[in-house]
Structure 1
Amino acid sequence: MKSARFLLAAAVCAACLVSQAALAETINFGIISTDNSAALKQRWQPLIDDLNKQTGLEVKPFFATDYAGIIEGMRFNKVQIGYFGNASAIEAVDRGNGEVFAKVKYKSGEAGYYSLLITNVNSKWKTVDQVLKNTHDINLGFGDPNSTSGTLVPSYYLFAKNGISVRNDFKSVLPSSHEANMLAVVNNRVDVATNNTDMVETLRQQHPELLQRVRILWKSPLIASDPMVWRRDLPQATKDKLRNFFDHYAQTDPREKAIMEGITGLSGFTDSTDAQLIPIRQMALFQKKEQIQNDAHLSDEDRKAQIAALDQKLAQLDKVAAK
């Protein structure tokens, strides 16, 4: 009889342990590689610590050497929530079962940020017009392929609109992170480089003396602030905890405000949806359309068919944007 009671008690205890394990949800928080992992961890870990305390979830930071690592992490469910740029968020949404649920806010009150073309203050390249007219003599520090401000926006607004092919017209193109491109300009290792106002703000806070070595040659139209993306298949209870945290974080608490300001001058978060990605999708399709129009290897028939398909996608996006 005692043996039976013991077995029953053990079974109940085991069931409790299993139940507790199921409730102890672990979430990986992916952060795109705009900087080196140590710097990103220093900036984001205090927020992640608060996220754990306030939600009861077990959230761990997830870093990769490039944007693709975070995108693939979400695709294969190694990352369940992440901080993305708009272009990389498109990949996370389309290929990683992701969904935009929030976006960052800036202390400055800006609704977004800007892509930049920068050079060393002592460079012979004094204006953006000089750069555009002499690309064959210029080494370009470029962004990660999935970067909005480092690649997509300057490719479209600065280069494609001026009839310049990044791949073919520069002396050399060296893709890297925003931090690496900034340091390459500061130390005169590239002639010009793409970057953004977030990295300029980081340099202003941490190394203002280095910022004096940087000249800004070009500034893009406003880019919507960076989105937060979670996997669509997260449990609703988990989504509710995450949304409640990001809706209220750094609204009043001075310590939380200081943590957000340390993340490139941010002030908090506000709700968002996949709709914020529409302008970036349109930009990418326009850019692809121009590439097809200028592709001498395509037959007229193939060119017309591909352009028609892109026009159809653009028309669909126009309808969504209108709503």
Structure 2
Amino acid sequence: MKTVRAVLAATLVLTTACGTTTSTSSGGCPNNGHVRFGVEPYEDPARLKPAYEVLAKALTRKLGCEVELQIVDDYAAEVLAMRNGKLELAEFGPLGYVFASQKAKAEPLVSFADGTGKLTSYTAGIWVAKDSPVQKIEDLRGKSLALSSVGSASGDALPRYGLKKHGVADVKLDYAGGHPEAMLALINGKVDAAEINSQQLATAKSAGTFDEAKFRQIWKSEPIPNDPITVRGDLDASFKDRVRKALLELETADVEKVGAFLDVTPPGPLVRVDNDTYKVLFDLATTLGLKEEDV
């Protein structure tokens, strides 16, 4: 399990500047014209950064504030940064958002839609090698299972929920540190099974790093609504409205590189979401008795 550390990547200051600085009370730009936007490293940060730079630059133009992109270390670091007033905007995984809303006053603004404008979702999954004797989730008793990282919806909570629902208790859980790392543990034969969500599966197949013919999926979750982009709740209401409006006005081309990591096919615009969108994750946290330290 990773410990909470400071922001991993240096802050990227985009070149499009804001005009005369105004306070957030008038709906202007906070922090002398700067809006800090945090993103969790659900994929290799070196791959995520260029995609999110495109989104951040487009938001800079729409919002009129200088948007600074920060790739944080993990879910907990992102929640902590927003709670301490170090982030105005943040994209959380769905389960990470549950705790961010409770502990950091995060409010959901938008998420990712397909080409028809419909909110997209993804699924958690558990995979084994094709020649494994494990045929169903119940067969994992006494076996090892690679999970992503503590606090991930598809990489931690949902697979554990699946095990609990099927009465499977004696499984050795191995937190690999991320979705790619969990997949790699299975590919390299380090574990008997691994969580692989539909987003990671699509990315790895596209990159040629996962041969689906050599593996089998033995369990799949119900659909999970895609990641919300959130705003810190204690900011001025008029500023929050401006941010949502700017995000909703972004072109598909501004967000499709990010959408590719989230298995958004075909790509579409951002669409409005609210707390009700993520009720299934609030319910999941309650069922599993998850607490902030679990993220």
Which of residues 160, 164, 167 is equivalent to 1:163?
Answer: 167
Shift of residue 229, structure 1, vs aligned partner: 1.2
Residue 119 in structure 1 maps to residue 117 in structure 2: no
Cα distance per residue 1:244-286 (max 9 Å; x no partner): 22212235xxx43643443333333111111222222222222
The residue that corresponds to 1:145 in the other structure is: 150
Would the aligned equivalents of 2:58 and 2:250 in 1 still touch at CA under 8 Å? no
Q: 1:148 to 1:25 in 2, by over 3 A?
A: same
Q: For residues 158-185 of structure 1, what are the alpha-carbon distances to aligned partners after superposition, in whole Å with 9 as ceiling and x for unaligned?
A: 21111123xxx12452342112112222
**Structure 2 Cα separation of the partners of residues 260 and 36 of structure 1:** 13
In the alignment, is residue 173 of structure 1 matched against residue 174 of structure 2? yes
Count of matched residue pairs: 261
Secondary structure of 1:47's aligned partner: helix
Q: Give how far 1:201 is off.
A: 1.6
1:285 equivalent in alignment to 2:286: yes
Identify if the C-alpha distance between structure 1 residues 238 and 263 changes in structure 2 by more than 3 Å, giving closer, same or farther. Answer: farther
**Equivalents in 2 of 1:232, 1:139: separation in Å?**
40
Matched, 1:196 2:206: no
TM (norm. structure 1) is 0.72
Instruction: State the secondary structure of the residue aligned to 1:179.
Output: helix
CA–CA distance in structure 2, aligned partners of residues 114 and 127 of structure 1: 19
1:40 corresponds to 2:48: yes
AA aligned to 1:148 is A
Deviation at 1:208, TM superposition (A): 5.8
Q: Which has the higher contact order (CA 8 A, sep 6+)?
A: 2
Q: Within 2, Cα distance between the matches of 1:248 and 1:195?
A: 33
Deviation at 1:134, TM superposition (A): 4.2
- Indicate which of 38, 47, 59 corresponds to 1:51: 59
Percent identity, aligned pairs only, is: 21
Q: Aligned partners of 2:211, 2:128: CA distance in 1, in Å?
A: 12
Mark the runs of 5 or more structure 1 residues left unpaired by the alignment. 1-18, 290-323
What is the CA–CA distance in structure 1 between the aligned matches of 2:81 and 2:192, rounded to whole Å? Answer: 34
Task: Indicate the RMSD between aligned Cα atoms, in angstroms.
Answer: 2.6
8 Å contact from structure 2 (residues 95, 281) kept in 1? yes
Give me the whole-angstrom Cα distance separating, in 2, the residues matched to 1:225 and 1:265: 9
Report if aligned partners of 1:44, 1:263 keep a CA contact under 8 Å in 2. no
Residue 200 of structure 1 aligns with an amino acid whose one-letter code is L
Residues 1:80 and 2:88 are matched in the alignment: yes
1:117–1:216 contact (8 Å) kept in structure 2: yes
1:265 has 2:268 as partner: no
Pair 1:216–1:100, CA change in 2 (3 A): same
Structure holding more helix per residue: 1
1:133 aligns with 2:139: yes
Give the letter for the 1:164 counterpart.
Answer: V
Distance, in Å, in 1 between the alignment partners of 2:214 and 2:168 is 27
Q: Which amino acid aligns with 2:195?
A: T
User: Which is higher, the Rg of structure 1 or of structure 2?
Assistant: 1
Q: 1:233 to 1:140 in 2, by over 3 A?
A: same
For residue 31 of structure 1, report the CA deviation from its aligned partner.
1.1
